[in-house]
Structure 1
Amino acid sequence: MASMIAVNLEPDRLRVGSRGSINRMVEQVQQEKYTSQYAGNDVFEDNRSRNTSNAAQTGSTLLEQGQSAVDDARVSSTSALPSAPICRQFWKAGNYSDAHGSRVNLQSGKTYLHVHPMFLHSNATSHTWAFGAIAELLDNAIDEIQNGATFVMVDKISNPRDGSSALLIQDDGGGMDPEAIRQCISFGFSDKKSSEAIGQYGNGFKTSSMRLGADVIVFTRHMEERSATQSIGLLSYSFLMRMGHDRIIVPMVDYEFNTDIGKFGISRRHTNESFQANLSLLLQWSPYSSETELLKQFDDVGLHGTKVVIYNLWYNDDGNLELDFNKDPQDICIEGDTRKVESLPAWRTVKEQHIANRLHYSLRAYMSILYLRIPETFCIKLRGQVVMPHNLADDLKFPEYILYKPQAGGLREVNVITTIGFVKDAPHVNIHGFNIYHKNRLIKPFMQAMNLTSTRSRGVVGILEANYIQPTHSKQDFERTSIFQKLEVRLKEMAWEYWDYHCGLIGYHVTKKVRAVSSPSDPPAMSNQTFPTVGTEQAASPGLGVKRKEHSNSVTPDAVRKLPRLGEGVAVTSASSSSRHISQQQQNAVAVLMQDNQKLRADLFEYEMRKEELNLQVIKLTRELEEENAEYDRLMAELTLLDDMKLENQRVNIVM
C-alpha cells in the first residue's frame, strides 16, 4: 500500500536547485510512476500519487515498462547517518552529513529520486519566526469555516510519555478522509480551489509543524453522507533521522465506522499485517504507548474535525523552549523576545505595550490582528480563552481613506482603499508603518515604508488589503515583484503626503497648507504627489487652513460611510475614533454573550451526537426489520405450501 517515489532522472529532465525550484520539482515528481518498497506494508511514504491509490491498496507494485521489481534488500531504509539524538535547537538540527545522498540505484541501472528526511528541516527554515508557523496552521482552520468549522484552539498539553510540553491545535472543521490526510502530509498537493482560501501550495502543514517541533501526530475524523472515517498519521523527524532512513516514511492507520457493531473498526484499506506494522511505529514514536490511548484522543474531536499535536518542541540558542508557556498562563510567548524601546520614561511603558511591539512576542496579540474578518459563528481560542479580534483602524485618529488603482498583471485595474491616520498616542509613541493583508490574512504588520531616522511620517499608520500581489511561501512577506515595489513607493508617498498636510494636528509645524476646496466650476488640479482622498473625520485645528482640495476621482465621505468597516468587507473604516471606542462594560457584555454562545454550541454538539446515534439506530433497526420481513415472507410461503399439501392429501383420501 505504501509507495516510494521512483523518478527516472533523464538528462536535463529534472534539476534540483534553489528553494524556488522545489515546487516545480514536486509537481513533476507527482506525475512520475511509483515503485513500491514495502509490498503489502502500509507504512506510507511521502509523495504518493493520486492515480496509484487503488493499486497501492492491494499492495501491488507499479513499475515502468521493462523495469524489474525492487527487492527490499536492494533499496535500503537506512543510511550512514548517525543515530545520535537530534539536536533540540532548530537552527542546528539540520547539521548532519548526508553520506548516502538521495539517489538509489535499481537493478536496471537507472537512477531514481526521492525526498530525503533532511528536506523536512531545510523546508521548514522558510519560517524564521515561530509565530509565522503557528499562523499557517491557523490558516488551515480558517479555510475550514466553509465546511462548518466554529472554532480553532491553540493550547499547551503535556506529552504523556515524558511529561514535556507539546503544542495542540484543534478545530471542528470537516476533517480529512484517508486520502486527504495522505495529501496533507505529503508534498505539493493542494485542493484549495476557492479564490478566498489562504493556502495554495499544499506545503504549509509540513513547513509549519516541523518549524515548531521535531515531531507531529495528526488525528482527524471525517463524515460523508452515511460513512465515517478516522485516521492517525505521524510525521516524525526524530524517527526518520535516528533510524537512518533515506526517504520520508509516514506511519498511518485508518478506521471506518461499522454500522453493524456501532463503532469504528480497521479500515478495508489495510491488511491486518500492514495495520499492525503502522500501529507499531505509531506506538513506538508517538506520545501514546497503546492503541487505546491513541483512540482516546478522538473523544473530544466530535463528529468531524482535526487535532494536531506537535511535540519535541524546539529550543532556542540559550537552551530554553522557544515557545514560553509560563510567562502568561493565558498566552504563548516567544522566550526572550520582549522588546525594550527607547522613549521618554513617561511613555516607555505605553510604547512597549503597543500591539506593534507585543505582536512579536505575544501570540495572543498577534492572533488578535491576524485576520481582518472573522465570522460571528467562529472563534479563536488560546489557552482556553477566546482571542478578541483587534481592529487596527480603531487605533487611529484623524483617519483618511486613500484610493489606489494599480494594474494587476499590466491589464486588470483593481481598487485598493488604504485607511491611514495617526496612532492614538502620537507623537509621543513613535509607531508607524503599513499593515498589509492578503485575502483577509495579515502578511506584513507595520511594514516600514518610511525612513526610521526621519520625523517625517512619525506616528503614521496605514491598513490595506492587497489581494493582487503574491505572498511568499511563508506568508510573512510578499514576492519582490515590480508590482509590489510600486506599492511600496506609493505607500511611502501616501505617508509623506498625509504627514505634510496633517502633522500640525499632533503639534508639528505644517509644511504644506491644506488648500481650499475648489468650486464645481473650477477644474480639479492634480499633481503627481497627490492621491484621491477623503478629508479627515475631525475638523482641522484653527490656523491650519481649510480642508484639502477635492480630486475628480476622490472617494467621497458619503461613499466611504456606505462601505463596510475595516474587517467586515474591505479595508475601509468610517466611524470616528471616539465613536468606535468600546467601553469595558461593552467588552464584558460581549464576553458574556460569547460564553452563552459557546454553551449553546456545546448543547448543539450534544444534540448532533444524539441525532447521529439515533440515525445509526434507525439504520440498524431498518435492517433488522427487513430481515424479519424476509423471514416472515419465507414462513408464509412454507405455510401456504403446507396448506396446499394438506388439501391435496384430503382429496386423495376422499377418492380412496
Structure 2
Amino acid sequence: MRNSDYVDLSSDDEETGVSNSVSPALISRQFWKAGHYKVAHRQGHRAGTENQQNHMRIHPMFLHSNATSHKWAFGGIAELLDNAVDEIQNGATFVSIDRSYTPSDGKPALLIHDDGGGMDPGAIRRCMSFGFTDKKSKFTVGQYGNGFKTSSMRLGADALVFSRHRSLTQSVGLLSYTFLTQMRYDQILVPMVDYVLNSSSRTYQPLMPHGKQQFSSNLTMMLQWSPYSTEEELLKQFDDIGPHGTKIVIYNLWLNDDGDMELDFNSDPEDIRINDEKTSQESKPIFYHHVANQFQFSLRVYASILYWRLPTYFKIILRGRDVQHYNIALDLKFHEIIKYRPQGNLKVRASYKFFSSELTADIGFLKEAPHVNINGFCIYHRNRLILPFWRALKNSSNIGRGVVGVLEANFMQPTHNKQDFERTPLFQKLEDRLRQMASEYWRLHCELIGYPKPSKNPRIELDHQESPSSRTRNCLYQPEPLNHGSQNESSGASMNAVGFLEDSEVTTLEVSSGLLGKSTDIHKIRNQGGLMLKRKNIDPPASLHHANRHMGSYTEQPDSAVDSEKMCLVQANKNLRSLLSEKEKMVDDLNLKAQQLGMERESLMIEFTQMLLEAKLLEGNSVDFF
C-alpha cells in the first residue's frame, strides 16, 4: 500500500513522511497536553515536485496548535453550528447536536447533523483543507475556511464527516490526529472515499476518478482508524441523513486537567455542559443562575443566545429537544433604542461596503435588576454572538448594575475564533461609546429600579482606562421629569432626559424608547416618517424649560403625575412591541415563501441533473464529477 494513495491536503509532493513500520506514538488524552508530537527520521526527502516548484508543507502538529485558538470548548461547537446555519440558504431546516457512542469501544462521541445542501466530492475536500471557502455572502457567518478544522480538533482527536449532496453523490472524510501521530507522519493526510448514485439501480456505487487502488487504500485506512470496522457499517451512517445533508462524528473526546471528559453529558439528559464547575449550583449566588452566567457552562443556554435572529422554521435541536431562542433585547425593562454612527478611516469603513456603518443599540435593565450583579453588552456580527455580556463599566460600585445592551456590529472584524473583535481603532471608538452609553443610561434611569437619584451634575466614575475625551458632551444633566405640558415640551423633555450626544457620533434617538409624554402621539410620529428626534429640532420652549431648570426655577411633579406618565409609556411600548411582532411575522412569512421557492428550484435542478446523468449513461460516456 503506497502512502501516495491517500489524499494529501497539505502539499503536492508525492512522497510522504515515513514507513508504516515505525512504532506508534501515543498522545495525551488531555487537550492542552496533546501537542507533544514526534516524527520518525526521514531519509531522502524531496522538498519539491518534478518541475522543482517548492510547496509549503503542513505538519500534523498544526492541527493541535490551530485548535488552541478555542480556549473554550463551546467555541468549537459554535463553529460547527455556524456551518449548519449557513446552510439555511441551501434549504436547511434544522441542526441537531447529540451524544452517540462509538461501536468499536462504546465511548461517547459528539454528533452534529444538519439537513443542508450537503457537499459534493470537491466541496468536502475544500472543507478538509485550510483557507478554502465558498462563503463570500454577507449573510453567511463563516469567512475564513478554517472553522471545521479548529473546532473538530478542539473537541476531540478525530472527526468523521458524512455528506450527501442532492442525492447524487455521498462522501466520507476522516480527519484524525490519532492516525497521524500513531503513524508519525510529518504532513497532514486525510483519507476520503466518494460514491455516486446509479440511476438504474438507485444505489450508490464507488466513485474512483483516480483508480480502484487509491479508493481501496483510502477505505482501508478509514476503517482501520474510525469506529466502523466494515464498509457496510460505515455507509449505514447515511441512513438518517436523507436526500441531502451533513453529519459529523467527533470521537476520542478530550479530557480536562482533572482527567474528566471536558463535555459533560450526564448532569442533564437534555443538555451538554462544561465539566469544570467546582461547587454545587445550590451554593452559588442567585445571579449565577442567570443566562449571563449559565451560557459559560450550558450549551442549551449558549445556543439560545448564539444567534440574534433565526427563521421560525429553523430549529436547533439539542439532545432531542428544541432550543428555545432567547432575544435578550425583548427581555429588558425601560428599553431604549440608540443609533450610533462610528467615525473612522473612510478607507476602512469602505472595505465593509456590504454593511451599513450605522448600528442600533438596544439598552435597558434586566428584569432581575437590581438583584443581579450583571451588566454589559451582547455584541453580534452577521447575526452571530461574538462578545456575550461584555462589561462596559468595570468598577466596584453599583454604577451600571443591571444595565444590558444588545447590538450588531457588522462593520467590525471578528477574530478567527469568533470570540472577540480585532482591536482596531474603530473598535476602540465603539468601546468608548458603549461605556458612555451605559453610564448615561444608568444616571438617567437608576431611580426606576430603586437606586437613589444622583446629585446635581454628577461626575460618573467610568473605567479608569477610558479617555476623558471620549465622554459625551453635555450629558451630565439631571433627568427631566415628565409633565403635562404641550407636545413640544414633552418631546423636548424626552430629549433632555436622554442627554445630548456628540455630533461626530450620535445625532438621533429612536422614539420607541418610551420617553415621550402622554400628550405625544407616538403612532402619528411613526406614520409621518419621524422615527427620530434630532437635537437641532428641539423646540425653543423645551430648551428654555431645560435652562430654567438649571437656574433653580424648576419644581418637580407629584409622584402621582409621574406614575400616570409611566402608565401611558408602558401602554405605548406595548403597542409598539405588538406592531413590531406583526412586522417580524410578515418578514418570517416572506422568508418562508422564498425558502420554499428555493427548494422547488433545487428540486427542478436535481431532476434536470438526473436526466442529464441518465442521458450520458445511455450514451456510454463517463461522467466527471470534479
Q: Secondary structure at 1:45's aligned position in 2?
A: coil
Say whether the 8 Å CA contact 2:338–2:362 is kept in structure 1. Answer: yes
Say whether the 8 Å CA contact 1:338–1:361 is kept in structure 2. Answer: no
Distance 1:621-1:407 versus aligned 2 partners, 3 A rule:
closer
Equivalent residue pairs, number: 512
CA distances 1:276-317 after superposition (whole Å, capped 9, x unpaired) = 111100110001000000110000111111000000000001
Say whether the 8 Å CA contact 1:433–1:462 is kept in structure 2. Answer: yes
1:378 to 294, 300, 314: 314
1:552 deviation in Å? 2.5
1:400 to 288, 313, 336: 336
The answer to whether residue 296 in structure 2 is matched with residue 360 in structure 1 is: yes
Distance 1:100-1:498 versus aligned 2 partners, 3 A rule:
farther
Residue in structure 1 matched with residue 221 of structure 2 by the alignment: 281
Q: Which amino acid aligns with 2:436?
A: E
Say whether the 8 Å CA contact 1:526–1:551 is kept in structure 2. Answer: no
Residue in structure 2 matched with residue 467 of structure 1 by the alignment: 410
Q: Secondary structure at 1:442's aligned position in 2?
A: strand
Residue in structure 1 matched with residue 247 of structure 2 by the alignment: 307
1:216 to 159, 170, 175: 159
Say whether the 8 Å CA contact 1:105–1:111 is kept in structure 2. Answer: no
CA distance in 1, matches of 2:614, 2:220: 34
Moved more, 332-341 or 249-258: 332-341
2:264 to 298, 307, 324: 324
Say whether the 8 Å CA contact 1:432–1:459 is kept in structure 2. Answer: yes
Residue in structure 1 matched with residue 535 of structure 2 by the alignment: 552
Say whether the 8 Å CA contact 1:337–1:360 is kept in structure 2. Answer: no
Distance 1:38-1:289 versus aligned 2 partners, 3 A rule:
closer
Normalising by structure 1, we get a TM-score of: 0.70
CA distance in 2, matches of 1:521, 1:575: 18
Say whether the 8 Å CA contact 2:380–2:408 is kept in structure 1. Answer: yes
Say whether the 8 Å CA contact 1:431–1:458 is kept in structure 2. Answer: yes
CA distances 1:253-274 after superposition (whole Å, capped 9, x unpaired) = 0001112332110103241111
Moved more, 324-333 or 252-261: 252-261
Residue in structure 2 matched with residue 654 of structure 1 by the alignment: none
Q: Which runs of 5+ in 1 are unaligned?
A: 3-36, 49-61, 64-69, 542-548, 556-573, 582-596, 628-656
1:415 deviation in Å? 1.5
Residue in structure 2 matched with residue 559 of structure 1 by the alignment: none
Percent identity between the aligned chains?
51
Distance 1:622-1:106 versus aligned 2 partners, 3 A rule:
closer
Q: Which amino acid aligns with 1:211?
A: R
1:369 to 279, 295, 305: 305
CA RMSD of aligned residues (A): 4.1
CA distance in 2, matches of 1:252, 1:136: 22
Say whether the 8 Å CA contact 1:505–1:540 is kept in structure 2. Answer: no
Residue in structure 2 matched with residue 335 of structure 1 by the alignment: 275
1:258 to 198, 202, 213: 198
1:539 deviation in Å? 6.7
Q: Secondary structure at 1:294's aligned position in 2?
A: helix
1:370 deviation in Å? 0.5
2:287 to 346, 351, 360: 351
The answer to whether residue 479 in structure 2 is matched with residue 514 in structure 1 is: yes
CA distance in 2, matches of 1:103, 1:419: 63
CA distance in 1, matches of 2:537, 2:109: 52
CA distance in 2, matches of 1:324, 1:118: 27
CA distance in 2, matches of 1:102, 1:203: 32
CA distance in 2, matches of 1:261, 1:173: 25
CA distance in 1, matches of 2:34, 2:381: 32
1:267 to 182, 190, 207: 207
Q: Which amino acid aligns with 1:495?
A: A
CA distance in 2, matches of 1:376, 1:285: 40
CA distances 1:194-233 after superposition (whole Å, capped 9, x unpaired) = 111101110000000000000000000102xxx7110000
Q: Which amino acid aligns with 2:30?
A: Q
Residue in structure 2 matched with residue 455 of structure 1 by the alignment: 398
Distance 1:536-1:144 versus aligned 2 partners, 3 A rule:
closer
CA distance in 1, matches of 2:536, 2:44: 61
1:248 to 179, 188, 193: 188
1:275 deviation in Å? 1.1
Normalising by structure 2, we get a TM-score of: 0.73
CA distance in 2, matches of 1:127, 1:623: 48
1:166 deviation in Å? 0.1
Q: Which has the larger radius of gyration?
A: 1
Residue in structure 2 matched with residue 45 of structure 1 by the alignment: 8
1:526 deviation in Å? 4.1
CA distance in 2, matches of 1:297, 1:113: 35
Distance 1:521-1:184 versus aligned 2 partners, 3 A rule:
closer
Say whether the 8 Å CA contact 2:93–2:115 is kept in structure 1. Answer: yes
Q: Which runs of 5+ in 2 are unaligned?
A: 350-355, 455-476, 483-487, 518-531, 539-570, 579-591, 621-626
Q: Which amino acid aligns with 1:209?
A: S
Q: Secondary structure at 1:389's aligned position in 2?
A: coil
Matches within 5 A, 1:534-549: 534=510, 537=513
CA distance in 2, matches of 1:101, 1:422: 64
Q: Which amino acid aligns with 1:159?
A: T
Say whether the 8 Å CA contact 1:103–1:114 is kept in structure 2. Answer: no
